[in-house]
Chain A
Amino acid sequence: MTNLNRRTFIRAAGAAAALGTLGFPSLVLGASRRVVVVGGGVGGCTAAKYLRKLDSSIAVTLIESKPAYTSCFMSNEVLSGERTLQSLTFGYDGLRRYGIDVLQDTVVGIDPEKRQVQTAGGRAFDYDACVVSPGIGFKWDAIEGYDEEVANELIPHAWNAGPQTELLRSQIEAMPEGGHVIIVAPADPFKCPPGPYERASQIAHYCKHHKPKAKITILDAKDAFSKQGLYIEGWTKLYGYGTDNSMIQWVSAAGGGAVEALDPSTRTLTGLVEDFQGDVINIIPPQKAGAIAFAADLVDGDWCPVDKRTFESSRHKGIYVLGDASSAATMPKSAYAANSQAKVAAAAIVAGFQGKASDDPTFVNTCYSVVGEDFGISVAAVYRLNAETNTIESIPGSGGVSPANASPEIRKREVSYAHSWFKNVINDMME
């Protein structure tokens, strides 16, 4: 094909697609539709913004417990001292500029019959569609001796970014020269599968410069983990992994890494084979959907089943569950995944209001991890719907992790891509 013919072809094909997705605002069909969004995290913010972007006649109310959002993504860099928690905290004025009503309150109930959301503040909001993206909750009964109070005061999980992230950072700074940090990693599925290993890396990055005799042990409930080969390559290069002097130790479940109990007063963990004592302990407990998902009867087991075409709850019509709380395998519980799912749900809600069938969904996930100085790695996937099995499958031949033994220049670029990704995903959520 000549250049020119090809150009004509591209334009024509594109125009057809563009026309196919542009619809009339639902307003022309009747009164303004109302969407109530529960949770102003990645999924909730993105859904709210894209609903308004796709159809500005929809009245969108977003209800969030906190006055501002503090992202978990990049919060491991707070532990190494590379950034502050403040640099991860963003207000909701950006969303207000899209005409979204952002309210600070906590949703305590959703009535799917009356199509109404109730808040702790005693308010009720009627909806035509409800989006629920509350993130995770913790299974406090999993490790004996570990509960919410212990987590807040002594042994932080720091798996929701906030005061516990700063507590953990200050404990690491205060520990002795040759201190021992223990990270307890949960079984799948949990929020951010590569997260515990990035955390170990970031703590090692700090110790390498400030407490070179310190040790970090990961006690794992699993025998394998996300991007394992790449982490080990990075740890070997940066932190002496595999030598007697390795700063990082990983103990698999089979190797005795599964933990049953904690004695907070002596900072001792009871494993199946032996006990472990640390100067700083970070327990990442097993997880389940956020509390509102249970209160609103959206769960089956620990997570919320959804129709993968639209992310509408399989349990209650008119409610769409996104992000970490949803059961969306094979997508991981990540910010990129929640952002991608939110756009699918927003388009499905708009199509529904216009009386149209929704298009086939399309999803992407990209997750960067910063292992240390000039050493970034990533995992990516492009997904499609398998309508027959109601599953999300990765498109064959696409995706995967960064190549093993990539050039130093590519590893370095992936660090800068991680930081640029952070800016863009925040922008796409709430600016």
Chain B
Amino acid sequence: MENMKRDKTVHTGVCHLLLATLALALPVAVAAGPSGQAMSFTCAGCHGTDGSSVGPSMPAIAGMDPEVFVDAMQAYRQDERNASIMNRIAKGYTDEQLKEMAWFFASQRLRLFPQTYDAALAEQGARLHEEYCEKCHEKGGRPGDAGTLAGQWMPYLHYSMEDFLSGKRKWPRKMKRKVDAAIEKAGDTAIPALVNYYGSHR
């Protein structure tokens, strides 16, 4: 974690350099195929305009870390996530196209919508988060390289946790140990507490 963070800052400069070079080479770079923007626009029917979902079962994808986006879509494409529909949709795109869409959503402002949550559970969740989750899901789970939890739709978060716990979705490194520990500490309320905590963010 620590190492990666340092690397990122150092390499921002390199990124910008690369960008400038690519911008110059543009006419060649965008020869054929639909634009990243056009492909991303097609997602809005389910994920809201520019990825700020207003439907509680569909996750917000605006402001999403581009790497998390590509990883998720590749996992869907390979039927590695407990999908109902995203597996069928992800198969329509190449790796290059996924990257272009990832960039589009990463650069969109995330609009969050107030949710009804249980204040007592959210408070318990805040403590659990601090102890077991904050190390990877930094700043209360704000958009980052471990996904977007803060303000994410609660029904979607519940689905995700159900899938992890039932073994239908692969745990990211270390996550299973942390979730098991949180459940050991707080029992059946651990997951609802965490979900209510994330849902309490505005």
A and B assemble together: yes
Decide: A420 and B58 in contact? CB cutoff 8 A.
Answer: yes
Decide: A13 and B92 in contact? CB cutoff 8 A.
Answer: no
Decide: B100 and A13 in contact? CB cutoff 8 A.
Answer: yes
> Quick one: CB contact mask for A341-363 with B, threshold 8 Å, 1 for yes?
00110010000000000011111
Decide: A428 and B22 in contact? CB cutoff 8 A.
Answer: no
- B-contacting 9-mer, from A131-139, A299-307, A394-402: A394-402
Q: Give the complex CA separation of A11 and B42 in angstroms.
A: 21
Of B29, B39, B43, B44, the residue contacting A16 (CB under 8 A) is B29
Interface positions, chain B 78-106, Cβ under 8 Å from A, are 82, 84-85, 88-93, 96, 99-100, 102-104, 106
> Quick one: CB contact mask for B144-167 with A, threshold 8 Å, 1 for yes?
000000000001000100100000
Provide the residues of chain A in CB contact with B35, threshold 8 Å: 17, 20-21, 359
Decide: A14 and B66 in contact? CB cutoff 8 A.
Answer: yes
Decide: A10 and B70 in contact? CB cutoff 8 A.
Answer: yes
- B-contacting 9-mer, from A1-9, A29-37, A242-250: A1-9
> Quick one: CB contact mask for A381-398 with B, threshold 8 Å, 1 for yes?
110100000000001011
Provide the residues of chain B in CB contact with A347, threshold 8 Å: 38
- A-contacting 9-mer, from B11-19, B121-129, B184-192: B11-19
**Is B33 located at the chain interface by the 8 A CB criterion?**
yes
List the count of A-B residue pairs having beta carbons below 8 Å apart: 189
Q: Give the complex CA separation of A6 and B74 in angstroms.
A: 14
Decide: B89 and A410 in contact? CB cutoff 8 A.
Answer: no
Provide the residues of chain A in CB contact with B90, threshold 8 Å: 398
Of B29, B42, B49, the residue contacting A427 (CB under 8 A) is B49
Which A residue's beta carbon lies closest to that of B58?
A420
**Is A378 located at the chain interface by the 8 A CB criterion?**
yes
Q: Shortest beta-carbon distance, A88 to chain B, in Å? A: 15
Decide: B57 and A416 in contact? CB cutoff 8 A.
Answer: yes
Provide the residues of chain A in CB contact with B82, threshold 8 Å: 410
Q: Give the complex CA separation of A421 and B57 in angstroms.
A: 9
Q: Shortest beta-carbon distance, A19 to chain B, in Å? A: 6
**Is B41 located at the chain interface by the 8 A CB criterion?**
yes
Provide the residues of chain B in CB contact with A423, threshold 8 Å: 54-55
Q: Give the complex CA separation of A35 and B90 in angstroms.
A: 34
Q: Shortest beta-carbon distance, A112 to chain B, in Å? A: 27
Provide the residues of chain A in CB contact with B107, threshold 8 Å: 14, 18
Interface positions, chain B 22-74, Cβ under 8 Å from A, are 22-23, 26, 29-30, 32-39, 41-49, 53-58, 66-67, 70
Of B8, B46, B49, B91, the residue contacting A366 (CB under 8 A) is B46
**Is A105 located at the chain interface by the 8 A CB criterion?**
no
Provide the residues of chain B in CB contact with A384, threshold 8 Å: 34
**Is A174 located at the chain interface by the 8 A CB criterion?**
no
Decide: A380 and B89 in contact? CB cutoff 8 A.
Answer: yes
Given contacts A417-B84, A424-B58, contact A4 B106 (CB under 8 A): no
Decide: B84 and A398 in contact? CB cutoff 8 A.
Answer: no
Interface positions, chain A 402-431, Cβ under 8 Å from B, are 402, 406, 409-410, 413-414, 416-417, 419-425, 427-428, 431
Of B7, B45, B104, the residue contacting A339 (CB under 8 A) is B45
Of A3, A50, A397, A420, the residue contacting B91 (CB under 8 A) is A397
Q: Give the complex CA separation of A413 and B38 in angstroms.
A: 28
Decide: A12 and B48 in contact? CB cutoff 8 A.
Answer: no
Of B89, B100, B102, the residue contacting A398 (CB under 8 A) is B89
**Is A364 located at the chain interface by the 8 A CB criterion?**
yes
Provide the residues of chain A in CB contact with B42, threshold 8 Å: 340, 343, 362-364, 382
**Is A28 located at the chain interface by the 8 A CB criterion?**
no
Decide: B84 and A360 in contact? CB cutoff 8 A.
Answer: no
Of A360, A400, A409, A431, the residue contacting B34 (CB under 8 A) is A360
Q: Give the complex CA separation of A362 and B101 in angstroms.
A: 13
Decide: A20 and B29 in contact? CB cutoff 8 A.
Answer: yes
Decide: B45 and A336 in contact? CB cutoff 8 A.
Answer: yes
Provide the residues of chain B in CB contact with A420, threshold 8 Å: 46, 53, 55-58
Q: Which of A9, A12, A402 neighbours the largest number of chain B CB atoms within 10 Å of its CB?
A: A12
Given contacts A15-B103, A428-B48, contact A416 B155 (CB under 8 A): yes
Q: Give the complex CA separation of A21 and B33 in angstroms.
A: 12
Interface positions, chain A 198-246, Cβ under 8 Å from B, are none
Q: Give the complex CA separation of A10 and B100 in angstroms.
A: 7
Decide: B32 and A360 in contact? CB cutoff 8 A.
Answer: yes
Q: Give the complex CA separation of A79 and B46 in angstroms.
A: 24
- With A10-B66, A359-B38, A428-B48 already in contact, 16 other A-B pairs whose C-beta atoms are closer than 8 Å: A11-B103, A13-B103, A17-B30, A17-B104, A18-B37, A18-B103, A359-B34, A364-B43, A364-B45, A366-B46, A380-B89, A382-B93, A398-B92, A399-B92, A422-B55, A423-B54
Across chains A and B, which 7 residue pairs bring their CB atoms closest together, nearest first?
Answer: A14-B103, A420-B55, A382-B92, A398-B92, A17-B36, A362-B34, A20-B30
A residues apposed to B, CB below 8 Å: 3-4, 6-21, 50, 335-336, 339-340, 343-344, 347, 359-364, 366, 378, 380-382, 384, 395, 397-400, 402, 406, 409-410, 413-414, 416-417, 419-425, 427-428, 431
Name 7 interchain pairs, CB-CB below 8 A, sorted by A: A10-B102, A12-B19, A20-B26, A359-B35, A366-B46, A366-B89, A399-B92
B residues apposed to A, CB below 8 Å: 4, 7-8, 11, 14-15, 18-19, 22-23, 26, 29-30, 32-39, 41-49, 53-58, 66-67, 70, 82, 84-85, 88-93, 96, 99-100, 102-104, 106-107, 155, 159, 162
